[in-house]
Amino acid sequence: MKNLKIYLLVLLSLFGACNSLLMAENHAMEAKKVILLVAFGTSVPEANVAYQNIDDEFRKAFPNQEIRWAYTSKMIRTKLKKSGIHFDSPAEALAKLGEQGFTHVYVQSLHIIPGDEYHWLLTTASRFNNMPKGLKVTVASSPLLVTHNDMLLASKAIIENLPAERKASEAVVFMGHGSHHGSNIYYSGLQYYLWQHDKYIYVGTVEGAPELEDVIGHLEKNKIKKVWLMPLMAVAGDHAKNDMAGSEEDSWKSVLENKGYQVHVVLKGMAEYDNVVDIWIKHLLEKYDI
Ligand code: CO
- The model's pLDDT over 224-242, given as tens digits with 9 standing for 90+, comes to 999 999 999 999 999 999 9
Q: Please give the distance, rounded to the nearest whole angstrom, from the Cα atom of residue 179 to the centre of ligand 1.
A: 9
pLDDT of residue 92 exceeding 90, the answer is: yes
CA angle 125, 47, 38 (to 5 degrees): 5
Q: Please give the distance, rounded to the nearest whole angstrom, from the Cα atom of residue 178 to the centre of ligand 1.
A: 8
CA angle 43, 66, 138 (to 5 degrees): 85
Type of residue found at 173: V
**Percent of the residues in the chain that have a pLDDT greater than 70, as a whole number:** 90
Q: Please give the distance, rounded to the nearest whole angstrom, from the Cα atom of residue 243 to the centre of ligand 1.
A: 10
Nearest of 140, 124, 110, 113 to residue 37 by alpha carbon: 110
Q: Please give the distance, rounded to the nearest whole angstrom, from the Cα atom of residue 207 to the centre of ligand 1.
A: 7
Determine the average pLDDT of the residues in 96-120.
96
Type of residue found at 175: M
Rounded to whole angstroms, how far apart are CA atoms 106 and 287? 8
Strand partners, 34: 105
Q: pTM for this structure?
A: 0.89
> In the structure, what pLDDT confidence band is assigned to residue 131 with cuts at 50, 70 and 90?
confident
pLDDT of residue 5: 62
> In the structure, what pLDDT confidence band is assigned to residue 84 with cuts at 50, 70 and 90?
very high
119-126, Cβ contacts within 8 angstroms, sequence gap of 24 or more: 119/181, 120/72, 121/38, 121/72, 121/90, 124/90, 124/91, 124/94, 125/90, 125/94
Rounded to whole angstroms, how far apart are CA atoms 175 and 265? 11
Q: What are phi and psi of 245, to 5 degrees?
A: -105, 0
Nearest of 100, 89, 92 to residue 133 by alpha carbon: 100
> In the structure, what pLDDT confidence band is assigned to residue 28 with cuts at 50, 70 and 90?
low
What's the full length of the chain, in residues? 290
Determine the average pLDDT of the residues in 254-270.
98
Determine the average pLDDT of the residues in 87-116.
96
**Percent of the residues in the chain that have a pLDDT greater than 90, as a whole number:** 84
pLDDT of residue 132: 85
Q: Please give the distance, rounded to the nearest whole angstrom, from the Cα atom of residue 177 to the centre of ligand 1.
A: 6
Residues annotated as part of the active site: 177
pLDDT of residue 136 exceeding 70, the answer is: yes
pLDDT of residue 290: 60
Give the 3-state secondary structure of residue 30: coil
Task: Give Cα separations from 172 to 122, 165, 168, 261 (angstroms).
Answer: 34, 12, 10, 12
Q: Sign of torsion, CA 255 257 261 264?
A: positive
Determine the average pLDDT of the residues in 45-53.
97
Mean pLDDT estimate for the chain: 92
Determine the average pLDDT of the residues in 11-20.
51
- Helix residue ranges per DSSP H, the chain: 2-28, 48-61, 74-82, 90-99, 116-127, 148-160, 185-195, 212-221, 238, 252-258, 274-287
> In the structure, what pLDDT confidence band is assigned to residue 210 with cuts at 50, 70 and 90?
very high
pLDDT of residue 53 exceeding 80, the answer is: yes
Determine the average pLDDT of the residues in 150-175.
98
